[in-house]
Amino acid sequence: MALNGNSGNSVTDPAPGQIPNDGTGIVELDGYLSPFKDALRSRYAKTKQWLKTIDETEGGLEKFTRGYELFGFHVLDNGDVKYREWAPNALRAYLIGDFNNWDRDATPMHKNEFGVFEVTVPGKNGQPAIPHDSKLKISFVVPNDQARQERIPAWIKRVTQDLTVSPVYDARFRNPPKEESYVFKNKRPPKPKSARIYEAHVGISSPEPKVATYKEFTQNILPRIKKLGYNVIQLMAIMEHAYYASFGYQINSFFAASSRYGPPDDLKELIDTAHGMGITVLLDVVHSHASKNVLDGLNMFDNSDHLYFHEGGKGRHDLWDSRLFNYGNHEVMRFLMSNLRFWMEEYQFDGFRFDGVTSMLYTHHGIGTGFSGGYHEYFGPAVDEEGVVYLMLANEMLHQLYPDCITIAEDVSGMPGLCVPLSLGGIGFDYRLAMAVPDLYIKWLKEKEDIDWDMGNLVFTLTNRRHGEKTIAYAESHDQALVGDKTLLFWLCDAQMYTNMSVLTEETPVISRGLSLHKLIRLITHGLGGEGYLNFEGNEFGHPEWLDFPREGNGNSFKYARRQFNLVDDNLLRYHFLNDFDSKMQWTEEKYGWLHSPQAYVSLKNEDDKVIVFERAGLLWIFNFHPSNSFTDYRVGVEQEGTYRIVLNTDSKDFGGHGNIDEGSRFFTTPFAWNNRKNFLQVYIPSRTAIVLALENTL
């Protein structure tokens, strides 16, 4: 298994028992890591030391990561309510709320030697004295001027916002009657062999200009996702964030599911319904930084600059204007790892896409840094070892306690070992995102003529990944849909999307090119780009508008903060062709399983003809990117002899193509070596089309 996609340095897997237990096992897989053994040993030793400390002081990882059962609010069997909060810098603390008429002195808390405040509010006749859904806060007396300050409890599980009164969130005491609590009905689905991911945001999942709800997503969007053939949903903007337009990336309450889409039980129903459809659900988790809000966030919680975060400049992200966690602190580690456990247990998520991993891995956070791929960039003083160790521990915990858990890293740097297990000295993710792929498409659509597209560069970008480390490929994600950028179809068709997407209008050369390349780009990314595939909601049918959340700069308009699914449901519009093709692509993968098959063998990259040919999962893939040339009896090599038939054809009229290819054709191999393959067959491949062939006996 060659780990280094750049070098072709092929090394066989070490035999069991030969793996060194000091974190350098990964060197056996990738010899280019040999000069960095000391750095690998260091991060591994620190991770092992953390595990030892947690075992000795906390009774092990399983117990340590249930911090949400220790901190925050808990109703005891006798109706008493116990509340705990870590705030070492505060002198005194009081619990205030509706239950005690906001009396600042009525309910004092006791502080222990670890800086943890605690109070028990006695029940009344066996019932809690704090009513369900009532508001509360913690009131601190802080050093220096002995001033009072009120904060939202850090471990609170429900917060709400009333923008007619204030943008500041209110903490709510969550203790619904048992008979009103949602009960999960479905088991988690097994871990998918091929991850086909639908990246979605609940709030924008409606054609109407409003914030859509969990209920609406469950009723309207889940059936679409299932029908399309995706088997994983990645939910964005679920952890509570004060500012809607932040796309969910400025978290203020880490244990609260966003209330703007509805109550917590509605999110549970969404996940449970998805599980009933056999769909895995991932949470977009933001542990790379936190909102700098003071009144309803973690910032300055106990009036110190350094409770959950590093103090001073080290604790601030200049570009994101947010706070950075201190991953070396025991209580911060408890908070973040318990946060992962909480979402897995309370809401039954199946795993996480970790946002902003590059920021966690490096002290420069990736700001103003271009990564060349030189190994020296991944080790040394620029690496934030505490951030690396936190990710190693988080992945180890999740995979130990939830064997089917999926974790995905969003990292632009290409850190080696990101998706290698801890036992070999890796960081332990299941997948990484192939972030260079969409960048290539956008750059070419902006800067190059179609005839100048470089087939070798396209293949290189799609296959340049660290073997043995699984990759999620995508042609475009939410990043490309945001205002200031454009989706692929928008780059391809621009203004004609408003005038010529009806089948009653002329199919102009611009629209024809747009539909063709949209399908070709997605298909080659799906087939060649990785061990998983991702699509952002709406992009499967070429959503016509960018994404812009209501904010001051646009008059708080919802016009672009929505997904126009009505367009794809109108058979007089060409969007449904792209949607139908996307669905065909997903379900064909479900049958043949190329994403969990070994990487493709590319037999042809012809720059003059603009033709790419490869084999994967027993299928023969043939792409003609040429803007004008079609080829008759085009000879392509194939290893496996036999009779082949078409299983996917971008030129099908069902998908808005021109119907120039006879889909009933049978292709017979000739036993003559061609392009390093044992056999060849001949195909008709029109301009800007692709066909995928399978052996007749697999149909």
> Does 119 have pLDDT greater than 90?
yes
Residue 49 sits at φ, ψ, to 5 deg, of -65, -40
Task: Report percent pLDDT > 70 for the chain.
Answer: 98
Q: DSSP class of residue 15?
A: P
493-505 pLDDT per residue, tens: 999 999 999 999 9
Q: How far apart are CA 301 and CA 252, in angstroms?
A: 11
pLDDT of residue 482: 80
Beta bridge partners of 642: none
Cβ 261 vs Cβ 154: under 8 Å: no
Of 141-145, 155-159, 294-298, 534-538, the least confident? 141-145
Q: How far apart are CA 584 and CA 572, in angstroms?
A: 20
Gyration radius from the chain CA atoms: 27
The residue assigned the tokens 């297990």 is 421
* Angstrom distances, CA of residue 549 to CA of 165, 244, 245, 561, 648: 21, 7, 5, 5, 37
157-192 pLDDT per residue, tens: 999 999 899 999 999 999 999 999 999 999 999 999
Q: How far apart are CA 649 and CA 584, in angstroms?
A: 10
Cβ 470 vs Cβ 419: under 8 Å: yes
- Confidence category of residue 414, pLDDT binned at 50, 70, 90: very high
CB atoms within 10 A of CB 645: 16
Q: Would you please indicate which residues are annotated as catalytic (active-site) residues?
A: 355, 410
Q: What angle do CA 12, 15, 19 make, to 5 degrees?
A: 100
Q: Residue 621 has which token pair? A: 């893939």
The residue assigned the tokens 């090119």 is 513
316-370 pLDDT per residue, tens: 999 999 999 999 999 999 999 999 999 999 999 999 999 999 999 999 999 888 8
> Does 7 have pLDDT greater than 80?
no
Q: Is 634 helix (H, G, I), strand (E, B) or coil?
A: strand
Cβ 202 vs Cβ 235: under 8 Å: yes
294-318 pLDDT per residue, tens: 999 999 999 999 999 999 999 999 9
Beta bridge partners of 137: 96
CATH superfamily of 68-180: Immunoglobulins (2.60.40.10)
Q: How confident is the model over 394-417, as a mean pLDDT?
A: 97
Cβ 525 vs Cβ 437: under 8 Å: yes
Q: How far apart are CA 610 and CA 559, in angstroms?
A: 40
pLDDT of residue 238: 98
Same fold for the domain at 68-180 and the one at 600-698?
yes
SS3 track for 145-209: CCCEEEECCCCCCCEECCCCCCCCCEEECCCCCHHHCCCCCCCCCCCCCCEEEEEEEHHHCCCCC
* Angstrom distances, CA of residue 328 to CA of 313, 384, 426, 466: 16, 10, 19, 29
pLDDT of residue 15: 56
CB atoms within 10 A of CB 179: 6
Total residue count of the chain as it appears in this document: 699
15 vs 307: which has the higher pLDDT:
307
Handedness of CA 185, 187, 193, 197 (dihedral sign): positive
pLDDT of residue 2: 36
* Helix segments in 357-433, DSSP class H: 357-361, 385-401
Cβ 233 vs Cβ 275: under 8 Å: no
Of 119-123, 240-244, 518-522, 614-618, the least confident? 240-244
This prediction's pTM: 0.96
Give the residue from 557, 402, 403 showing the smallest Cα distance to 483: 557
Q: Is 159 helix (H, G, I), strand (E, B) or coil?
A: strand
> Does 13 have pLDDT greater than 80?
no
Q: How far apart are CA 338 and CA 490, in angstroms?
A: 42
> Does 35 have pLDDT greater than 50?
yes
Contacts of 38 (CB under 8 A, 6+ apart): none
Across the chain, mean pLDDT equals: 94
Residue 8: which H helix or E strand, with range?
A: none
pLDDT of residue 679: 98
Of 38-42, 177-181, 388-392, 677-681, the least confident? 177-181
Q: Is 195 helix (H, G, I), strand (E, B) or coil?
A: strand
Beta strands in 361-433 (DSSP E): 406-409, 431-433
Residue 405 sits at φ, ψ, to 5 deg, of -65, 145
- Confidence category of residue 8, pLDDT binned at 50, 70, 90: very low
DSSP of 82-149, one letter per residue?
A: EEEEE-TT-SEEEEEEGGGTT-TTTSB-EE-TTSEEEEEE--BTTB-SS-TT-EEEEEEE-TTT--EE
DSSP of 679-693, one letter per residue?
A: EEEEEEE-TTEEEEE
* Angstrom distances, CA of residue 131 to CA of 94, 221, 303: 18, 35, 29
Q: How confident is the model over 656-685, as a mean pLDDT?
A: 97
Give the residue from 25, 16, 29 showing the smallest Cα distance to 466: 29
DSSP of 305-351, one letter per residue?
A: TTSSB-SGGGGEETTTTEE-B-TT-HHHHHHHHHHHHHHHHHS---E
Q: Residue 488 has which token pair? A: 């692929």
pLDDT of residue 373: 80
Q: Is 357 helix (H, G, I), strand (E, B) or coil?
A: helix
pLDDT of residue 16: 52
Q: For 283-302, give one letter per residue: b (16+ CB within 10 A) or e.
A: bbbbbbbbbbbebbbbbbbb
DSSP of 207-260, one letter per residue?
A: SSSS---HHHIIIIIHHHHHHHT--EEEEES-EEES-GGGTT-SEEEEEEE-GG
Give the residue from 526, 33, 536 showing the smallest Cα distance to 236: 536
Residue 236 sits at φ, ψ, to 5 deg, of -95, 160
Q: How far apart are the first and last CA of the chain?
A: 31
Side by side, which strands form the sheet with 116-121? Answer: 72-75, 81-86, 116-121, 110-111
Q: How confident is the model over 140-147, as a mean pLDDT?
A: 87
> Does 250 have pLDDT greater than 80?
yes
556-604 pLDDT per residue, tens: 899 999 999 999 999 999 999 999 999 999 999 999 999 999 999 999 9
Q: Residue 469 has which token pair? A: 């480390």
pLDDT of residue 14: 52
Q: Which fold has domain 600-698?
A: Immunoglobulin-like (2.60.40)
Of 7-11, 127-131, 474-478, 522-526, the least confident? 7-11
Cβ 685 vs Cβ 634: under 8 Å: yes
Phi-psi region of 428 (alpha: psi -120 to 50; beta: other; left: phi over 0): left
Domain positions in the chain are: 68-180, 600-698
Q: How far apart are CA 203 and CA 549, in angstroms?
A: 10
Cβ 465 vs Cβ 434: under 8 Å: yes
pLDDT of residue 486: 84
Q: Residue 652 has which token pair? A: 């099908």
Q: How far apart are CA 92 and CA 138, in angstroms?
A: 10
